[in-house]
Structure 1
């Protein structure tokens, strides 16, 4: 059913499905998941540069995609070393590296490499790498972070060097021994797979050398070539001596039964076994040709590469292509644009009382299109990951945004008062911006731990409680709207009554989903850990929302609060959602903990302060107007 829904929703975004297998579709294993090289490239550029597209600042600025950037880096193109991709905002770090401040605060690998390679900085990095981060100064933390990015770039730069033709052979005699034409370039892999015949031919050359100048030049070039080959041999030796994965293992594009292998792993196997008549060797040969920019048959080699991998694995090319299309379509950006258009059009049209009926539908149409883009993105993510839509903090944000807009569309369809479009557009916009902040942290299509990815009760619990979050957020936003209208337009009693009724109805919807979701969370906890409570503070946070909503309903029924007091209580309900949703993640305990960060804590406390001030200031203004 999901697949058919995805096909229908694809009409609502602007990407074109590619039927051919291209370089960006090459599968790679990263962080436990098989993904297209396009996603891998975006993740690496995001880690280093902070964005998924690289801006080149020249006389005329232009952008290059992550996959084009990665292709240049893997091919060891000199231009990639001079692209400004390392951002240093702290002038003290710039001074520590003996660099000149640039206008955009961006520096190239060559500049960073020179700065980090001084003896003082080498010793500094060695010292701070062994020190607990809480004892480091801000400058030391930033230098350490910069060194990690520098190492990542170097890892990428060297990850495919063994299959890149970088060894120049000019001498015709030596070229013949290597089985190529003069002035051709060969890769280290070419040398390995023809090692026996090459050694045989090279021995003949050495034995035939006499003292004339021509042969001395031949010997000199041969010496340079063998020194280059020795560098690759040394790389393999260092790898084998290391107890941890290093630079050469980052590009895992050769399929295996369990952990996929890097090109260096396969080279090592070939060197040990001496066998080149196997699937891995064939894949390396195809990759060597794919990375050769001068080869006119690259598309054919890509197709052959895919065919070989398909025979060796249960690879689903449709999922790879779907993920590439998802990456390129920017569905959530388009969703945000239409939510903004909905809000703007509604604001403009509210200034005019007499409008054609067709124009009055524009805000509703805009939010509807934005919702379809939003829904498309989530459904496609589900088909790629083959799991429920809410399993990470990022996914919860985009899902809550979707459900919040959905509730508002339903309310607008019933009430037709435009108030729900205001609430829906604002909630969609705010939650999209929050999600973009979490998307900047890295891969949003990550693999979950087993207990999070294989439990029916978890799938139902998380989805249900997240719907409860969305409903509570809508309740709170309606509460904000009620207080604003009551202060600035208190004479419009009918509109205030409509807002109040919507607020009351959404409270019961929010209570149902949060309470039901919390019960499901307890069942999951009992099945997974053998106890209903105490297993995770996240569920205690969800219970806090339930108790707050129950308190407000009881206060209303008992007559202890009137409409404005009820609105104030729902404004403050947003704080309980924030604490349950984001606050418990800062405790650094429990399954849902994502670690304490100063930025997240500051944003949370700022949000709480804003809600408290907003609620009590407007509530106080209402009371003041009543008595004075």
Structure 2
């Protein structure tokens, strides 16, 4: 039966993957799936409300589910949470969705220990919390818990803003982070209606009926004629409220009038309401969102679903491509191909490790098939992003993490197909999971399919320089990870025989040759792009220096090998140091805050980068342990 094991593994992996592709079911009678597919314009890109909900939750709290440790899930889906924020802010204000990690900021906001302590209702959970398996304190809080001290948070934020990002204290950085999260939440609350309104639809209907009299009163006052002071007061009050909505506006929910297909002409709800003073009537889309809110609060599912359908029917004829992309993007979000791939990469890694100990052929083949399945899922996700953006695969730091992992796994599959020793599967599973995990944490900054900066807005160079240089990253990382497998496997196990060691050496050498070629060509192409964009081929920018360091280091490895300066373990040590060089070029230069390639300093990324460098230095140190000491160590462990 062992011979059928790889097929069973493949079928189980495929069944798991297919289960994630099923359309997301509505957990209520409200058509939340249809609501999530409604397109809006945000930061220059038309996207579905489902994406707005998911990216907002990631920015606010670092995850897409809304729950509390004591009561579990509070809202079933991101779309339901967004509908609650839009249409029932009184309820949304009590949901713990704003993450605060700094004790000093918690104190600033008046949150005491009793406010952060988690009181589990079960003895088992309390025990796990004491042991550290469950959190003992909260890190996510509701808007109502912060509301009283928000003026002080804003004051501290204004004091911190003039300080350069690199010079801010940890407290100042956290103040600005939490303040930005609160602002984002307020922008969502004001996207559709005034939160204080008990029935925004009723207010708008009354306002629309009073508009003629109000406008007449304004005109009469301008002419110093008799006018209705009460009508003027009502108009001023409504104008102030609408202006406040416009001031904090974030989502452009209202498409332009029929016949206007320019996507840049979408408007904020507050802007359209202010325009009603001139037109004498309220925009139909604004009224439809107000009706949605009324239906949501009253639990009127039939009306809610009908209006969602109306919004689709109104927008589809004018923006068929945007509607099609909104539908696909919503399904893409629900499927989460990169999260599925992470799971498959972990299982491929574990199976490949086990195959070194038992059933090498069967488990090794099963691991390779599982790795192939994960690679297909990742490829599908990357191609879906390319179609949605209309761009090559790498456009920002997030997509570079996806592509670095994708390229490395592709090379690992080739190695596994050639050598059939599960080493490619181990490296592919590890790198695939690690890069997708990095991408996941990079998604906390917001929309990962953002608009391109003007100087980067070139599909030709994105498809040549960026892809080639990123493949160079992938190959250099892969060589380093293969070298780490050589060191750790040789030190901690007895499975590194001469044939395996020779195979790993050939793998590392071949991958370094590949990495050198792509890094060199990618760096030269980058210089040509820089010459076209900035008028100089080379400017010693930190990112340019980082790219050059990769080329030089890979050349050093090859020359050291050709000249006989290093043997097998020396080659491995040099390849592992290539991980440090590449991580610096990829992430470190972006965080310096200087140069034309700087994308901003990130505290969390900085500490993880330091930890990664330290781990690679440790493995290099292990590589210099004499062979006899290796054997003694293994015997002692055994």
Q: Shorter chain as normaliser: what TM range? A: 0.7 to 0.9
Hey, what's the Cα distance between the residues in 2 that align with 1:305 and 1:163? 22
Q: Deviations over 1:550-607 (max 9, x none)?
A: 1221121122222221111111111111121112112222332112334333332332
Instruction: Tell me the residue number matched to 2:120.
Output: none
Name the Cα RMSD after superposition. 3.4
Instruction: Tell me the residue number matched to 1:542.
Output: 547
Instruction: Tell me the residue number matched to 1:32.
Output: 44
Instruction: Tell me the residue number matched to 1:531.
Output: 536
Which of 361, 365, 386 is the equivalent residue of 1:361?
A: 365
Which of 149, 154, 160 is the equivalent residue of 2:181?
A: 149
Q: Deviations over 1:301-350 (max 9, x none)?
A: 32332232234446421111111111111111110111111122223333
Hey, what's the Cα distance between the residues in 1 that align with 2:627 and 2:206? 83
**Residues 1:232 and 2:238 are matched in the alignment:** yes
- The 5 Å alignment of 1:331-370 reads 331-353=337-359, 359-370=363-374
Instruction: Tell me the residue number matched to 2:289.
Output: 287
Hey, what's the Cα distance between the residues in 2 that align with 1:26 and 1:55? 25
Instruction: Tell me the residue number matched to 2:499.
Output: 494
Distance 1:442 1:453, change over 3 A: same
Which of 314, 318, 325 is the equivalent residue of 2:331?
A: 325
Which of 69, 72, 86 is the equivalent residue of 2:81?
A: 69
**Residues 1:112 and 2:113 are matched in the alignment:** no
Single out whichever of 506-515 and 135-144 deviates more from structure 2.
Answer: 135-144
CA drift at 1:496: 1.0
Hey, what's the Cα distance between the residues in 2 that align with 1:407 and 1:335? 17
- The 5 Å alignment of 1:116-135 reads 116=150, 127-128=159-160
CA drift at 1:464: 0.8
Which of 150, 157, 161 is the equivalent residue of 2:193?
A: 161
Local SS of the residue matching 2:21: coil
- The 5 Å alignment of 1:474-485 reads 474-485=478-489
CA drift at 1:236: 3.3
Instruction: Tell me the residue number matched to 2:53.
Output: 41
Single out whichever of 69-78 and 496-505 deviates more from structure 2.
Answer: 69-78
Hey, what's the Cα distance between the residues in 2 that align with 1:417 and 1:571? 21
Q: Is residue 408–residue 421 contact of structure 1 (8 Å, CA) maintained in 2?
A: yes
Q: Is residue 66–residue 95 contact of structure 2 (8 Å, CA) maintained in 1?
A: no
Local SS of the residue matching 1:440: helix
Count of aligned pairs between the two proteins: 568
Which of 202, 205, 209 is the equivalent residue of 1:190?
A: 205
Distance 1:127 1:224, change over 3 A: farther
**Residues 1:555 and 2:560 are matched in the alignment:** yes
What residue ranges of structure 2 are gaps of 5+ in the alignment? 1-13, 26-30, 118-137, 216-228, 257-261, 634-638
Hey, what's the Cα distance between the residues in 1 that align with 2:374 and 2:470? 20
Q: Deviations over 1:399-422 (max 9, x none)?
A: 110111111111111111111111
Q: Is residue 41–residue 266 contact of structure 2 (8 Å, CA) maintained in 1?
A: yes
Q: Is residue 162–residue 232 contact of structure 1 (8 Å, CA) maintained in 2?
A: no
Q: Is residue 458–residue 521 contact of structure 1 (8 Å, CA) maintained in 2?
A: no
Instruction: Tell me the residue number matched to 2:444.
Output: 440
Q: Is residue 555–residue 561 contact of structure 1 (8 Å, CA) maintained in 2?
A: yes
CA drift at 1:12: 5.2
Instruction: Tell me the residue number matched to 1:254.
Output: 254
Distance 1:426 1:114, change over 3 A: same
**Residues 1:96 and 2:131 are matched in the alignment:** no
Instruction: Tell me the residue number matched to 1:271.
Output: 277
- The 5 Å alignment of 1:403-418 reads 403-418=407-422
Hey, what's the Cα distance between the residues in 2 that align with 1:198 and 1:315? 42
Q: Deviations over 1:364-388 (max 9, x none)?
A: 1211111111111111111110101
Hey, what's the Cα distance between the residues in 1 that align with 2:79 and 2:287? 21
CA drift at 1:128: 5.0
Q: What TM-score do the two structures reach when normalised by structure 2?
A: 0.80
Hey, what's the Cα distance between the residues in 2 that align with 1:326 and 1:232? 40
**Residues 1:396 and 2:408 are matched in the alignment:** no
Hey, what's the Cα distance between the residues in 2 that align with 1:134 and 1:496? 45
Q: Is residue 163–residue 284 contact of structure 1 (8 Å, CA) maintained in 2?
A: no
Instruction: Tell me the residue number matched to 2:90.
Output: 78
Distance 1:393 1:362, change over 3 A: same
Distance 1:493 1:427, change over 3 A: same
Hey, what's the Cα distance between the residues in 1 that align with 2:430 and 2:176? 39
Q: Is residue 12–residue 372 contact of structure 1 (8 Å, CA) maintained in 2?
A: no
**Residues 1:54 and 2:69 are matched in the alignment:** no
Q: Deviations over 1:484-536 (max 9, x none)?
A: 34445487212111111111111211112111211211221222223221174
Distance 1:312 1:472, change over 3 A: same
Distance 1:391 1:535, change over 3 A: farther
Instruction: Tell me the residue number matched to 1:206.
Output: none
**Residues 1:308 and 2:314 are matched in the alignment:** yes
Single out whichever of 57-66 and 38-47 deviates more from structure 2.
Answer: 57-66
**Residues 1:516 and 2:521 are matched in the alignment:** yes
Local SS of the residue matching 1:460: helix
Q: Is residue 483–residue 619 contact of structure 1 (8 Å, CA) maintained in 2?
A: no
Single out whichever of 37-46 and 400-409 deviates more from structure 2.
Answer: 37-46
Q: Is residue 46–residue 440 contact of structure 1 (8 Å, CA) maintained in 2?
A: yes
CA drift at 1:17: 5.0
Hey, what's the Cα distance between the residues in 2 that align with 1:163 and 1:95? 27
Q: Which structure's relative contact order is higher, taking Cα pairs within 8 Å and 6+ residues apart?
A: 2
Q: Is residue 166–residue 186 contact of structure 1 (8 Å, CA) maintained in 2?
A: no
Hey, what's the Cα distance between the residues in 2 that align with 1:544 and 1:62? 50
| Structure with greater Cα Rg | 1
Distance 1:456 1:166, change over 3 A: same
Instruction: Tell me the residue number matched to 2:382.
Output: 378
